Structure 1
Amino acid sequence: MPPMTQDAQSSRTLPARWVENWRAHPTRVALSCDGVSLSGEELEHRSRYFAGILTSLGVGPGDRVVWEATSSTESVSLAIAIMRLGAVLVPVSERQRTHERHTVVSDVSPRLVVSANGLDLGDLDVRQLSLDNLHDIASDECVLDHVGLDERALIVYTSGTTGTPKGAVMTHRNLSAHASSLEQAWGWTADDRLLFALPLFHVHGLVAGLFTSLSCGSSTLVQSHFETQRFLGAMRDERATMSFCVPTMLHRLILDPDVGNVANLRLLVSGSAPLSVQLFHAFEEQGSTILERYGMTETLLTLSNPLLGPRRAGTVGLTLPGVQADLPQRGEQERELRISGPTVFQGYWNRPEATAEILEDGWLSTGDIVRLDDAGYAVICGRMKELIITGGLNVYPSEVEDMLRLQEGILDAAVVGVPSEEWGEEVVAYVINDAASLDVEGIQARLASVMSSYKIPKRFVTVDELPRNDLGKLQRHLLP
């Protein structure tokens, strides 16, 4: 039988596709979390069991269920059960502070909150159970895998790098179209074995990783935390064919003596934060050409370097199948990237004004400034809200940061604009320095040979660390 087309695949929900794969390959490992594995048959049975318990608790289609996204087979089976039942999955991080979880739970008004060991939700009046408590409840008969494509499937709260987190609402159609797009673009098959150590409360690990791997019938190998030796060992011992990482992980992997294991992967993907050109080339020398891609919570993945053909350092490639991108022409001035297509979210939960600010006539304004390189590949220049205007001239922090990281003694850098009576804003660099003192004049002189003078930081602040979230993304608003 010929493989289904992307349109045919996208016309079915992910739960329907998952179950079809599990029944076609009942003994194949579908999920492994920290070495504990479930076959397709076991995962189907386990998720059905949890769905029956949720039904006994009164959870039904459309109900929101807050799920503490831990990387265990029990926890993932529960998340799958929520999706199969037609309820709406709302992942939260086990690392979140009480007030952060309080914000999410109070905003989404869930039918139920399920966590590993109980969450401190303050004074919120909401039913909460631990995973262990669920086993004390009888599993009832339930109807599974019959939810419609246009029903809500997932609400993911954005990282809140610039303000209060907002819940991005995804439908089953969004998720199915996204899985089909990656399956086609990256040649993803049931023979693949995907390894990652990404958090499951974010779309990188949950949607691009777990959900898509299950929809392709692949084996999904999840590690609850990242440790280089363990990760590279699993890459070898578990015969991984694909791996998803963030640049912070890749920085650590390249220093490990076993980094050569990456050469056995058919595909190593980097995302969630910019990948430096230097790190890209360092992995090339190890026999692995990293595929860098672009996406955001509200659109899922939309741009990618190609599976076949050149992968260009410093770029996020071309549009993925099914995606429409409003990009400048080659040679045109950079401008904001806009995205349209079946993966674009439905809006923010209970935030119509915030939705209207970025979504108009099916086109989402990403807030990212983009240009095309000589080959027509997209290059992300920076965020509009992070743009520094000094003396009437535009400075993109990421460009300056890349140059600073090349300077001897600077381990990491973050650049921001600070109000200035003379310049409007002046460029200030926060740096992690491994030397006894920082040679500011020497650094400024070297930068002057590679960039315009107005881009060079006027002040330097030495710090012990830079604020980053769980995916390594810089949190500029938390700088002192």
Structure 2
Amino acid sequence: MTRFQADTQAFTWQQLGQLVCAQADLLDHRLDTDGDSQRCIGYASDNSLGDVLIALACPLIDAMEIPIDHRLGARAKQLASQVGGVWIDHHHLDQEDAGFGSDPLQRIHAALPKTKPDDPALILWTSGTTAESKAVTLTHRNLVGNARAKLKAVPNSASDVRLTSLPLCHAYARTCDLGTWLLSGCTMALGLGMQAWRFMGPQVQPTVANVVPSLANRLYESDAAEMGLDRLRLLGCGGAALSQRDFCKWSARGVTIIQGYGLTESSPVICSATPENSTAGMVGGFVDGWERQIRDGRLFVRGPHVMSGYWNDLTATRQKIVDGWLDTGDIVQLDPATSQLRILGRADDVIVLDNGHKIHPQSIERQIEQIDGVRHALIVPSGRTIDVWLDADDANGWAAAIEKRLADRPPWEQPASVHCFEEPLSAESGDLTAKGTIRRRQVMRRLR
């Protein structure tokens, strides 16, 4: 029975295991002949068959995996070189290379004792929303434990079909797609972005998937049959907040939205809604394994999902983790009635106006982004007031809509003026992260 599909290739568990073992042999040879003291495998990740083979092969040869977004071009190899090991330029393996007559179980079982839970397994780069990207080191314990906690919050069964369209080189898909697929035994189809839905959606008819808000909106506006949405029952949405409007639209279609919250440094899931308590504007409760403290509104967490550290950066690690407590840097509210969390914004982003009022810009921006035609909003301080810059369909006519949307907010949280960017924001220009959120500091510098 097919359990994994990439492009037009479909595999049973045994066939995939044989490919993984063959890939492990190739990688082990490269490390022995070309590697340095670091047993690390770096490669440009493009959500192909090769990504999954390398991810599953590295533990068999006691190697650390360094997947880097292929869209970074030449910079991907530069990032990997900061760690060391070998760089794989062509990581695709043909089926005829795998030796389909062999049984992979013996090889896999023999390798397991070499791999210890707290060994470094994976380096992922942070998205760089508020600062320069950092290399986060995650252990096998981090990855397995966090995927298990996510799966407990949002159970999947072996009969589910998962369509993975988010990059496996980012923590969200790595844990909530790849990890939960392996633990649940369901079927996973792998592609990237909207193209994955157009090509594979109608073929596999997924029942579960994870997306970011921009992709959720594009899928909703598409023909359901053409995207293969007829069987979809659970749609995870992370990376940024889904608007209440989009949440309600999907709910009306009979699809349960699963929102969550976390950081690359937390493997990444800290909170997750469940199918039973999914609520617009909330990110669910804390998944298994976390202790938490909220200090002056700022969230700190401790537990087995906290990263082992930033690679080769002890100073940054000690600033981020003190006595085991990970500083998320986020300002939150805990709903006492439901124990669900609401994310107000980044602590570093709090704006203090000249009149002393404190503004959490992200909560205002999310409300404005619910207006049809507004793709992104950025709140900018202006003395005693705030202004808003829009990435929107049109350049004019937004003031009245924004005033109406923010009518229930105090006067100091309502923009005094509205401006529009001349060109749409994009990841290519460096204004957006790969997950589609604004790089606030970079865009703010451009506006000065």
Match of 1:215 among 183, 199, 222: 183
CA distance in 1, matches of 2:81, 2:53: 25
Other structure's SS at 1:57 match: helix
Residue identity in the other structure for 1:98: A
CA distance in 2, matches of 1:275, 1:444: 18
The answer (yes or no) to whether the contact 1:431–1:460 under 8 Å persists in 2 is yes
The answer (yes or no) to whether the contact 1:303–1:316 under 8 Å persists in 2 is yes
The answer for the alignment partner of 2:223 in structure 1 is 257
CA gap of 1:224–1:338, structure 2 versus 1, over 3 A, is same
Residue identity in the other structure for 2:324: G
- Write the deviation string for residues 367-403 of structure 1: whole angstroms up to 9, x where unpaired: 1110023433100000111111112211111222133
CA distance in 2, matches of 1:217, 1:406: 37
In the TM superposition, what are the counterparts of 1:201-350 in structure 2 within 5 Å? 201-227=169-195, 231=197, 234-258=200-224, 262=229, 264-299=231-266, 300-307=268-275, 309-327=276-294, 335-350=297-312
Residue identity in the other structure for 1:477: R
CA distance in 2, matches of 1:93, 1:233: 21
The answer for the alignment partner of 2:87 in structure 1 is 113
- Write the deviation string for residues 30-53 of structure 1: whole angstroms up to 9, x where unpaired: 321123212111111111111111
Structure 1 residues 166-175 or 443-452, which shifts more? 443-452
The answer for the alignment partner of 1:72 in structure 2 is 48
Residue identity in the other structure for 2:391: I
Other structure's SS at 2:339 match: coil
- Write the deviation string for residues 31-86 of structure 1: whole angstroms up to 9, x where unpaired: 21123212111111111111111222235996111121122223421232123222
The answer for the alignment partner of 1:367 in structure 2 is 329
**RMSD (Å) for aligned C-alpha atoms:** 3.0
Q: CA deviation at 1:154?
A: 0.6
The answer (yes or no) to whether the contact 1:34–1:224 under 8 Å persists in 2 is no
Tell me whether 1:172 sits opposite 2:148 in the alignment. no
- Write the deviation string for residues 133-156 of structure 1: whole angstroms up to 9, x where unpaired: 9x99x9xx9963331111110111
In the TM superposition, what are the counterparts of 1:439-458 in structure 2 within 5 Å? 440=399, 442-443=400-401, 445-446=403-404, 449-458=407-416
Other structure's SS at 1:465 match: coil
CA distance in 2, matches of 1:436, 1:153: 48
CA distance in 2, matches of 1:50, 1:326: 43
CA distance in 2, matches of 1:436, 1:351: 44
Other structure's SS at 1:430 match: strand
Q: CA deviation at 1:436?
A: 5.6
The answer for the alignment partner of 2:319 in structure 1 is 357
Q: TM-score, normalised by structure 1?
A: 0.80
The answer (yes or no) to whether the contact 2:233–2:256 under 8 Å persists in 1 is no
Q: CA deviation at 1:183?
A: 2.5
Residue identity in the other structure for 2:231: N
The answer for the alignment partner of 2:103 in structure 1 is none
Q: Percent identity?
A: 25
CA distance in 1, matches of 2:115, 2:279: 40
The answer for the alignment partner of 1:432 in structure 2 is 391
Other structure's SS at 2:307 match: coil
Q: CA deviation at 1:219?
A: 1.3
Residue identity in the other structure for 2:224: D
CA distance in 2, matches of 1:303, 1:85: 33
CA gap of 1:268–1:232, structure 2 versus 1, over 3 A, is farther
Q: CA deviation at 1:258?
A: 1.4
Residue identity in the other structure for 2:387: V
Other structure's SS at 1:472 match: coil
CA gap of 1:161–1:402, structure 2 versus 1, over 3 A, is closer
The answer (yes or no) to whether the contact 2:68–2:76 under 8 Å persists in 1 is no
The answer (yes or no) to whether the contact 2:270–2:290 under 8 Å persists in 1 is yes
CA distance in 2, matches of 1:413, 1:164: 21
Other structure's SS at 2:132 match: coil
CA gap of 1:152–1:284, structure 2 versus 1, over 3 A, is same
Structure 1 unpaired stretches of 5+: 1-27, 117-129, 329-333
The answer for the alignment partner of 2:104 in structure 1 is none
The answer for the alignment partner of 1:55 in structure 2 is 28
- Write the deviation string for residues 114-138 of structure 1: whole angstroms up to 9, x where unpaired: 134xxxxxxxxxxxxx6579x99x9
In the TM superposition, what are the counterparts of 1:88-107 in structure 2 within 5 Å? 88-99=64-75, 101-102=77-78, 104-107=79-82
Q: CA deviation at 1:306?
A: 1.7
CA gap of 1:96–1:317, structure 2 versus 1, over 3 A, is same
The answer (yes or no) to whether the contact 1:154–1:169 under 8 Å persists in 2 is yes
CA distance in 2, matches of 1:160, 1:432: 20
CA gap of 1:263–1:317, structure 2 versus 1, over 3 A, is farther
CA distance in 2, matches of 1:163, 1:152: 24
The answer for the alignment partner of 1:10 in structure 2 is none
Residue identity in the other structure for 1:415: L
The answer (yes or no) to whether the contact 1:263–1:288 under 8 Å persists in 2 is no
CA gap of 1:439–1:291, structure 2 versus 1, over 3 A, is closer
Match of 2:361 among 397, 400, 405: 397
The answer for the alignment partner of 1:388 in structure 2 is 351
CA distance in 2, matches of 1:380, 1:202: 21
Residue identity in the other structure for 1:151: D
The answer for the alignment partner of 1:477 in structure 2 is 441
Residue identity in the other structure for 1:270: C
Q: CA deviation at 1:190?
A: 2.5
- Count of aligned pairs: 423
The answer (yes or no) to whether the contact 1:397–1:414 under 8 Å persists in 2 is no
Q: CA deviation at 1:448?
A: 6.0
